[in-house]
Amino acid sequence: MLSIVFGDVENAVYHPPTYFDNTYLDEWITDPRTREMIRDVDKSEVVSARAIDSPFLGSISVRELSGGVKTLILMLFDDSGRIFNASSCGDNCAKWICRIAREKDLTINLHHVMDFSSCDGFEAYMINTGRTVKSFEEYLDEALSIEER
Amino acid sequence: MRGSHHVVVQNRRVRFEFSVRRNVTIVRGDSATGKTTLMSLIEAYDRLGDASGVEVVCDRRCVAINNANWEAVLAGASSCIVFLDEDVSAAKTPEFARRVRESDNYYVIITREDLPNLPYSVDEIYGIHTSGKYADLRRTYNSFYRIYEPDEPREMGPVETVITEDSNSGHQFVKAVCAADINVTSAYGKSNVRKLLSKHKGQRVLVIADGAAFGPEMGDVHLFAKAHPEVGVYLPESFEWVILDSGVIDGNRIKDILDHTEDFVESGEFFSWERFFTHLLVQETKDTYLRYTKAELNSAYLNGRVLESVLAAMGQVGSLLLRQGEAATERDGPRDRAETSGDASKSGDKE
């Protein structure tokens, strides 16, 4: 189940890519789900735990992955209890956030209204208002009423 | 600082090429489009110059700031193009906005956040796309594209509600022109527009706001309009810009200013182009029958050729409002436009 909290909150990581660079584990990178996310979002292939083949940048390190994909990987694997700022993710990451939230309870922090319209059967618990929304339209109404960003 | 400044940033793998022409440019969009790569090239060049292996071609110095050094760097930066990545949380503080307002730099800010303290334009919100590989097949070429194209709202049927961002002259003009059965309501601040949209959900709503400073609200309003096709959004630079563009003031000189506004706006003097257009219109009309004040609309704008010219400058939206007004006049008889507009700021809106 996906939970969303808008605005500054305790225990949140404002810039997940930096946190990722200093905490990621090799086995996260070679996990099939990570490979798929990197292929879809970054259009790149995982060669090994320490090498990525990017069509734009050539052979790159894990640290040169996009901020969005680093944040997704943290959402999938990090077990520190921290909440990651999904405003580091573009809308092309939205479907992956929804997919991760189907596997586990996931709480994300947002500082802008993310576009989840591409996610079928979107459902989320809105922590700021205490309401569960069961469609993108309901989410949008709820998100636009929230002052915190 | 004024003018448009072309920037080329490249190494052997990637090349970015774009221009900046206002004090604030926002870069956002999908993940993995090269935003952080652009930022890291600027930062490397700023730190090491040519020895970084990065080439930056621009007629102004390009500097990168971060959370730790932004105050110190800005204290010594003048007529620079300042770049911020999305990790610079200071960008959303009032203190940062004050520094932007008081400086003569241009700022390129990578963020998906609204940054409500900065009145940036909807026209200066960009994404990055890859244009391909040209002369050098080893290098990828990237450029900026406007995320929100400045076109007119899609063809709308009759409007039920018009939302304006404040109750000033622009609101008074629209209220005077609209048919009595159109609910013209002020949001009393652009940040309230999204709440009013939610309130009027299901109605055919037209939002009219000053595009020159509406950037912080655009993400929300765009998402709402995408989910609700009955909503139209009309964002000229500002109401004052519409009047200037209508040709009622002067011919070629004003046109030249509007065509190359960036060459006339000193960024340290005007926080946004919206303020520049107001200043220009007030100056151009003082001591004339078209004397303009922002707070209360001069009734001269509601009569004859002037009214027609301003409506024509509003394009499709002007025609739409006029059509509905004429239909109502045919049905209900004429209204006194000057009277309708004059009390707008005193008696409040219909709601």
Pair of tokens at residue B228: 């609700």
The distance of A118 to chain B (nearest Cα, Å) reads 12
Q: Higher-confidence residue: B348 or B214?
A: B214
User: Which of B85, B87, B112, B141 to mutate to probe the A interface, most A CBs <10 Å?
Assistant: B112
* B195·A14 Cβ contact <8 A: no
CATH class of the structural domain B5-146? alpha beta
Residue B31 pLDDT exceeds 50:
yes
* Residues of B with Cβ-Cβ distance to A43 under 8 angstroms: 32
Pair of tokens at residue B198: 């939610």
Place of tokens 């490397």: B44
Nearest Cα to Cα of residue B162 among B126, B207, B201, B210: B207
* Residues of A with Cβ-Cβ distance to B30 under 8 angstroms: 68, 90-92
Q: Higher-confidence residue: B136 or B340?
A: B136
The alpha carbon of B115 is separated from its chain's Cα centroid by a whole number of angstroms, namely 14
- Kindly report the backbone phi and psi dihedral angles of residue B30, in degrees, each rounded to the nearest multiple of 5, phi listed first: -60, 160
Residue B150 pLDDT exceeds 80:
no
**B187 touches B221 (CB < 8 A):** no
* B30·A145 Cβ contact <8 A: no
The distance of B89 to chain A (nearest Cα, Å) reads 8
* A68·B220 Cβ contact <8 A: no
Per-residue burial over A6-20, b = 16 or more CB atoms within 10 Å of its CB, e = otherwise: beeeeebbbbbbebb
**A142 in reach of chain B (CB within 8 A):** no
Q: For chain A, how far is it from start to end, CA to CA, in angstroms? A: 22
**A22 in reach of chain B (CB within 8 A):** no
- How far, in Å, CA of A61 to CA of B232, rounded? 45
Q: Domain segments of chain A: what residues?
A: 2-23+66-145
* B198·A115 Cβ contact <8 A: no
CA-based nearest residue in chain A for residue B88:
A15
* pLDDT value of residue B149: 80
- How far, in Å, CA of B107 to CA of B336, rounded? 47
* pLDDT value of residue B147: 95
**A137 in reach of chain B (CB within 8 A):** yes
Nearest Cα to Cα of residue B24 among B88, B111, B104, B118: B118
Tens digit of each residue's pLDDT (9 = 90 or more) over B312-339: 999 989 888 888 777 777 777 666 665 5
Neighbours of B31 (CB within 10 A): 23
Tens digit of each residue's pLDDT (9 = 90 or more) over B114-147: 999 999 999 999 999 998 766 566 788 999 999 9
Strands A83-85 and A58-60 come out as: unpaired
**A99 in reach of chain B (CB within 8 A):** no
Q: Domain segments of chain B: what residues?
A: 5-146, 161-347
Mean pLDDT confidence for B261-270:
96
The distance of A25 to chain B (nearest Cα, Å) reads 21
> pLDDT > 90: what percent of chain B?
80
Give the mean pLDDT of chain B: 90
Pair of tokens at residue B262: 């960036």
Q: What is the DSSP letter of B268?
A: T
Q: What is the pLDDT along chain A (149 residues), one digit of tens a residue?
A: 999 999 999 999 999 999 999 999 999 999 999 999 999 999 999 999 999 999 888 899 999 999 999 999 999 999 999 999 999 999 999 999 999 999 999 999 999 999 999 999 999 999 999 999 999 999 999 999 999 98
Provide the Cα torsion B192, B193, B198, B201; round to 10°: 150
User: Which of B223, B226, B228 to mutate to probe the A interface, most A CBs <10 Å?
Assistant: B223
Residue B154's pLDDT band (boundaries 50, 70, 90)? Answer: low
**B230 in reach of chain A (CB within 8 A):** no
> Which residue in A15, A90, A145 is closest to B195 by CB distance?
A145
- How far, in Å, CA of B226 to CA of B213, rounded? 21
Distances in whole angstroms, Cα of residue B339 to Cα of each of B174, B225, B288: 13, 33, 21
User: Which of A111, A117, A119, A142 to mutate to probe the B interface, most B CBs <10 Å?
Assistant: A111
Nearest Cα to Cα of residue B217 among B225, B156, B181: B225
Identify any residues that bridge with B208 across adjacent strands, giving them in sequence order: B164, B234
The distance of B193 to chain A (nearest Cα, Å) reads 10
Tens digit of each residue's pLDDT (9 = 90 or more) over B176-229: 998 888 999 999 999 999 999 999 999 999 999 999 999 999 999 999 999 999
Interface of B with A in 110-169 (CB under 8 A): 112-114, 116, 130, 140
Per-residue burial over B138-167, b = 16 or more CB atoms within 10 Å of its CB, e = otherwise: ebbbbebeebbeeebbeebeebebbbbbbb
CB pairs A-B closer than 8 Å? 82
**A57 in reach of chain B (CB within 8 A):** yes
Nearest Cα to Cα of residue B127 among B43, B226, B27: B27
Burial of B335 per CB tally in 10 Å (0-12, 13-18, 19+): middle
How large is the ipTM? Answer: 0.95
DSSP letters, A22-74, are HH--HHHHHSHHHHHHIIIII--EEEETTEEEETTTEEE-GGGS-HHHHHHHH
**B197 in reach of chain A (CB within 8 A):** yes
CA-based nearest residue in chain A for residue B89:
A14
Which helix (H) or strand (E) element contains residue B128? strand B125-132
Tens digit of each residue's pLDDT (9 = 90 or more) over B61-77: 999 999 999 999 999 99
* Residues of A with Cβ-Cβ distance to B35 under 8 angstroms: 67
Nearest Cα to Cα of residue A55 among B43, B90, B310, B139: B139
CA-based nearest residue in chain B for residue A65:
B32
- How far, in Å, CA of A67 to CA of B262, rounded? 33
